[in-house]
Structure 1
Amino acid sequence: MKKSFRVKKEKEFQMVFQSGSSKANRQFVVYTLPKPGQLHFRVGISVGKKVGNAVVRNAVKRKIRQALLELKPELKAEIDFIVIARPPAAKMSTEEVKKSLIHVLKLAHVLEKTM
């Protein structure tokens, strides 16, 4: 994912947390913040220490990034969102991560209903 598609700064993360809304399932929490006029979506990924050690956390982040890359055409443009992984995400395959993300992104109205 290109840098322009990422929420990187602490200030930007806090803006999404404080001003946005959240939806969750057992594996992920998604915070969303509409940004009218933005050319494309921006995403932040957070995987805490409760999920596992550094190797496990990085693997979960890779799976999330891969799923989002595959879902890129269906994601709404004018939105910033943060994906937070919960501990059950550590035991999931890439396909399971994608399926779970589709579910929670539809709940959060980030994903178009075309799928």
Structure 2
Amino acid sequence: MRKSYRVKKEQDFQRVFETHNSVANHKFIIYQMEKPGQHHFRVGISVGKKIGNAVHRNWVKRRIRQTLLEVKPELRPDVDFLVIARPSADGLSMAETKKNLVHALKLAKLIEKD
């Protein structure tokens, strides 16, 4: 995902957290903040140390990024959001990761329901 699609700065992460607008399922938490007039969404990914060592954390992040690339056309453009992986997200297959992340994104109304 290109840099323009990422929330990278600590202050941007904190701004999204402080909106207290979040939804969750058993595997992921989604925080979101409306940004009217923005040309495309921005996403931040956080995988904590409870997931495991760096190899496991990077493995989970790669699967989250791939899922977001696959659903990119369906995502709302006027929002910044954070995806936080819960410890139970470790060890999921790609299909399970996509299913759970899409479910969380639908709960957050970032993707239109089918």
Structure 1 counterpart of 2:78, one-letter code: E
| Aligned position for 2:100 | 100
Task: Say yes or no: does 1:15 pair with 2:8.
Answer: no
TM-score, normalised relative to structure 1: 0.97
In structure 1, the residue matched to 2:110 is 110
**Count of aligned pairs between the two proteins:** 114
Q: What is the CA deviation profile of residues 47-99 of structure 1, one whole-angstrom value per residue up to 9, with x for unaligned ones? A: 00001100000000000000000000000000000000001111101110000
Structure-2 separation of matches of 1:8 and 1:20: 19
One-letter code aligned to 2:67: A
After superposition, where does 1:11-50 map in structure 2 within 5 Å?
11-50=11-50
* Structure 1: gaps (5+ residues): none
| Bigger share in helix | 1
Alpha-carbon distance in 1 for matches of 2:68, 2:20: 20
- What CA distance in whole angstroms lies between the structure 2 residues aligned with 1:15 and 1:93? 32
Instruction: Letter of the 2:95 partner, please give it.
Output: E
> 2:70 aligned with 1:70, yes or no?
yes
% same residue: 62
Using the TM superposition, give the Cα deviation of residue 25 of structure 1 relative to its aligned residue in structure 2, in angstroms.
0.5
Distance 1:15 1:106 in 2: 22
Runs of 4+ that moved beyond 3 A = none
The alpha carbon displacement at 1:20 in A equals 4.3
Alpha carbon RMSD of aligned pairs, Å?
A: 0.7
Deviation at 1:3, TM superposition (A): 0.2
